[in-house]
Chains A and B, each alone.
Chain A
Amino acid sequence: MIARERTNVVRVIELCVAPLPPLPPVRETDAVQALERSLAAGPKVNAIALRVALLLVGLGLRRGPLAKAVGSLAHLHYYGDARVMRLLGYDPDAVLARATEARVA
């Protein structure tokens, strides 16, 4: 993504998540980088469609399946940030430590 597109993605995620303290602003999370990774891992045609959808939502599209898909993507990638997850009470490292202990035992 070029800088301008990234700026739009930040705006769209802000719109879907509406973060207020204690939730950090989107720019302080890894949501956009993670979203880019997900788009790169999926089929090219999906990436194109989703990037167009992100653009349309940035331009004001608020209803319909495309807007819903963008909302889900935004929520998944923002709330998957490690700091945000911990803030809400979920600690993946603690889950892994318990799992490793159980596996080894």
Chain B
Amino acid sequence: MRTISADACVIGTGAGGAPVAALLAEAGMRVVVLEEGELHGPETMTARPRDMMPRLYRDAGQIATVGNPPIVLPLGRGVGGTTLINSGTCFRTPQDVLDRWRADHGLELDLEEEFALVEEAIGVREVPPEIAGRNANLVKEGADRLGISAGYLKRNARGCIGSGVCAFGCPTGAKQHAGQVWIPRAQAAGAELHTNARARRLVVENGRVRGVETRDLRVAADRVIVAAGALLTPLLLRANRIGAASGQLGGNLTIHPASAARALYDEPIDPWTGVPQSVYVDELAADGIMLEGIAGPPDQGAMSTPRSGAEHRDLMLNARRTGSFGVMVSDSARGSVRRIAGRMLVRYDLHPGDAERFRRGFELLARIFFAAGAHEVIVPIDGVPTLRDGDVTPLQRLRVRPRQISAMAFHPLGTARAGADPATSVVDPDLQVHGIEGLHVADGSVVPSSLGVNPQITIMALAARLARRLTNAG
């Protein structure tokens, strides 16, 4: 086994690992970065969702929770992690969430400087209406007509032309994902990137981390930052018998369950044209319900369009006139991730209260669709008929159960949560694993609770804060 030495070894190149690697390298540290996946440049993208999924998604996009209902949980795999295949939406951590973390977890976080730093680095700006796509602009118009709070989202993109396939690899190279921004910065500052390198063993001696091993490489380092994501980080820690003392490792999983409704318009809107996630509706945000755009090419749309057989076919034949928009809930349920018989098992049951949140979100969305000119609305709740002529009463009357909801989820968080008390958390407020000197976690797993908004800015800001602490500590 080859051994190399570094001041810090970073495991993972997603929203957490990549900024830490860049900022530590730029501060003069010798940094080694281990990435399980490969490098995918924009020139390798095909704008064909079906064919990109096996290349860019972990387990070919087939990760699903076990529970009621089963929920597909797509994750990215490659340099950039899930930022390679996310929609690019950028929200700062809501202040009420930070206040709750202070009260419940003893986390004193002032992230203003870090927010500004990462937003500048990844080019965060509001989507211009010209590239927002007709699908999203119609929803914005409908919300405006009803006096419902809505706006254009902020995204990390430079030179975006609205190719419509953010979630399947940006072919323009406009999306400023972690592998496109932070990793090149890290390398320019001297960091060494190893792809196809899966961390297997964390070397710990006398309560202090000493390095990381892959199948054929040992990285000797007194600082190790685990950033493998909220599903894999707890598995890596547990496999090394680290971080389990509180009983919280792998638990507290929140996922932001999400789902999408369809609307049939008279005019062609070509939902694959423009930025897929460009508009939000935050009218119900205080209740943990967020509406965000989702759209894409026909295969992506077909996969999540409710119905089957002839009904589904008729919807697809009208694909050019079919709009779609998502509902995301800030979940109150908690799941877990474990390794059973060598396989990752994600347990999660949708809370009945969150099913009700979906119902309320879809009711609001249906009203907006109708105000925008739709004449039919299809919601992904079993037993709800197609809504017609502005009538949302079938949704109003409904007592929805979790098993009726068809959902996906994109934001696993919380499985190695941060907190001041070692009895109730896995890492301390400086993201160091309780009791293991030099071993830190910087990814969604440290986020102690559901955010209610897309998490990449929160994760990057926490990672930037960690990098600052490590460089200040010398």
- Can you list, as one digit per residue, whether each of B307-339 has a CB less than 8 Å from chain A (1) or not (0)? 011101100110110000000000000000000
The residue in chain A whose Cβ has the minimal distance to the Cβ of B343 is A45
**How long is the Cα–Cα vector from A79 to B305 in the complex, in angstroms?**
12
**B343 near A41 (CB under 8 angstroms)?**
no
Q: Is A52 in contact with chain B by the CB < 8 A criterion? A: no
- In angstroms, Cα B48 to Cα A68, docked, is 23
Residues in chain A near residue B310, CB distance under 8 A: 18
Closest A residue, CB atoms, query B68: A65
Of the listed stretches B165-173, B352-360, B423-431, B436-444, chain A binds B165-173
CA of A96 to CA of B305 in the docked complex: distance in angstroms?
A: 25
| Contact pick for B299, options A43, A45, A50, A85, CB 8 Å | A85
Nearest-CB residue, chain B, relative to A93: B47
Are the C-beta atoms of B50 and A80 separated by less than 8 Å? yes
* Contact between chains at A76 and B303 (CB < 8 Å): yes
Give Cα A16 to B302, complex, Å. Answer: 11
**B50 adjacent to A15 (CB under 8 Å):** no
Does the CB pair A95–B309 fall under 8 Å? no
B39 in contact (CB, < 8 A) = no
By the criterion of a CB under 8 Å from any partner CB, how many residues of chain B are at the interface? 51
Count residues of chain A with CB under 8 A from any CB of chain B: 43
- Interfacial chain A residues near B246, Cβ < 8 Å: none
Contact stretch, chosen from B53-61, B102-110, B183-191: B53-61
When distances are taken between beta carbons in the complex, the residues of chain A under 8 Å from B406 are 68
CB-CB under 8 A from B46, the residues of chain A are: 92, 96
Query: Quick one: which of B161, B164, B301, B343 contacts A102, CB cutoff 8 A?
Result: B161
Q: Contact between A90 and B297 (Cβ–Cβ < 8 Å)?
A: yes
A99 contacts B317, C-beta separation under 8 Å: no
Output the nearest chain B residue to A47 by Cβ-Cβ distance.
B62
Which residues from chain B contact A20 at a C-beta distance below 8 Å? 313
The answer to whether A43 and B343 touch across the interface, beta carbons within 8 angstroms, is: yes
Taking the complex as formed, is A11 at the interface, i.e. its CB lies under 8 A from any CB of chain B? no
C-alpha spacing A16/B305, complex, angstroms: 12
Q: Which residue of A has the minimal Cβ distance to B313?
A: A18
On whether the beta carbons of A16 and B299 are closer than 8 Å, the reply is no
Contacting pair A79 B299 (CB below 8 A): yes
What is the bound-complex CA distance between A77 and B49, given in angstroms? 10
Please provide the 8 A-B residue pairs with the shortest distance between their CB atoms, ordered closest to farther: A80-B50, A41-B54, A99-B171, A80-B299, A75-B302, A79-B302, A42-B60, A41-B60
Chain A to chain B contacts (Cβ below 8 Å), 15 pairs = A34-B50, A71-B308, A75-B299, A75-B305, A79-B316, A80-B298, A89-B298, A92-B47, A95-B47, A95-B165, A98-B163, A99-B45, A99-B47, A99-B171, A100-B43
Chain B residues close to A by CB (< 8 Å): 42-43, 45-51, 53-54, 59-62, 64, 69-70, 159, 161, 163-165, 170-174, 268, 270, 272, 297-305, 308-310, 312-313, 316-317, 319-320, 343, 406
